[in-house]
Structure 1
Amino acid sequence: MQSTATTPQEYIESLPEERKEVMENLRKVILKNLPKGFEECMNYGMLGYVVPHSKYPDGYHCDTTKPLPFMNLASQKNSINFYHMGIYSDPKLLEWFKNEYPKHATNKLDMGKSCIRFKNIKKIPVNLLGELVSKMTADQWIERYEATIKK
């Protein structure tokens, strides 16, 4: 479900009532913990957190007109999804997250390569996600991206 919203606030306002507060809380935690060098925007119909062209002029290798993506947050049909390229590209960060998750949540971790799915919106470990957000700087992400993903 990609949104046609053009701003993060418009995206939040377009959500069903039962999702608005949860998504706004997640957004606030992300912005509070977001390292310098990243910017919030709409990215692929989701809330996006990217390295802007002003910091990384090359942009995203799949579409250089777009900034370098790092995280996305989306309200999907059956879940709220949090996408984090750091856990996709850094095995140590992924291991840290998998070890910390049970300390913050009672439900089983539902995860793809970079996607963490939360089907029960009342059981999202918001503080853990905030900590995850703070674990990789924009410069660290650029370095990792160039070494492991950009070919």
Structure 2
Amino acid sequence: MQISASNVQEYMDQIPEERKDAFRKIRQVILDNLPEGFAEEMSYGMPGFVVPHSIYPAGYHCKPEEPLPFISLASQKNFIALYHMGIYSDENLLNWFREEYAKTCRTKLDMGKSCIRLKKMDDIPFGLIGELATKITVSQWIEIYESSVKK
């Protein structure tokens, strides 16, 4: 499912009704818990939380004109996708998340490298997503990012 939107509100207006409330709540949980310095904007066609150029002028190495991405949210055909670059880059954080998810949710964790697929709207671990959002500051994310890019 491709949503074409120029801003976050326009994107959210196009989400299917059965996912709208859950998507809004995930977004709000992230906004409420994300450390200072990250900015919300459209990033790669979906709402994202990025390190703005004002903090990290180099931007994303693949597209320096784009700010450094950190977390993104997308409404896909059959699920909400939460992309968290920190769990992709930090094995300890990934392991923590897997363990906490197993304690929190009745369903099996469905994820790719950075994509957490949320298929059951009534079993989304909002508190855990909020806690995950707190785990990496802007400066920590830049450090992790630079250490992985310079390998």
Structure 2 residue identity aligned to 1:125 = P
CA separation of 1:150/1:21 partners in 2, compared to 1, >3 Å: closer, same or farther? farther
Say whether 1:110 aligns with 2:110.
yes
1:38–1:49 Cα contact (<8 Å) kept: yes
Deviation at 1:87, TM superposition (A): 0.5
Percent sequence identity is 60
* Alpha-carbon distance in structure 2 between the residues aligned to 1:31 and 1:150: 30
**What TM-score, normalized to structure 1?**
0.96
Structure 1 residue identity aligned to 2:105 = A
1:2–1:46 Cα contact (<8 Å) kept: no
Name the counterpart of 1:18: 18
Name the counterpart of 1:35: 35
Name the counterpart of 2:97: 97
1:29–1:126 Cα contact (<8 Å) kept: yes
Alignment of 1:78-97 (within 5 A): 78-97=78-97
Deviation at 1:103, TM superposition (A): 1.5
Name the counterpart of 2:123: 123
Alignment of 1:34-73 (within 5 A): 34-73=34-73
Deviation at 1:149, TM superposition (A): 3.0
Structure 2 residue identity aligned to 1:135 = K
1:61–1:150 Cα contact (<8 Å) kept: no
Q: Which runs of 5+ in 1 are unaligned?
A: none
Paired residue total: 151
Structure 2 residue identity aligned to 1:44 = Y
Deviation at 1:3, TM superposition (A): 2.3
Structure 1 residue identity aligned to 2:91 = P
Q: CA RMSD in A?
A: 1.1
Structure 2 residue identity aligned to 1:117 = R
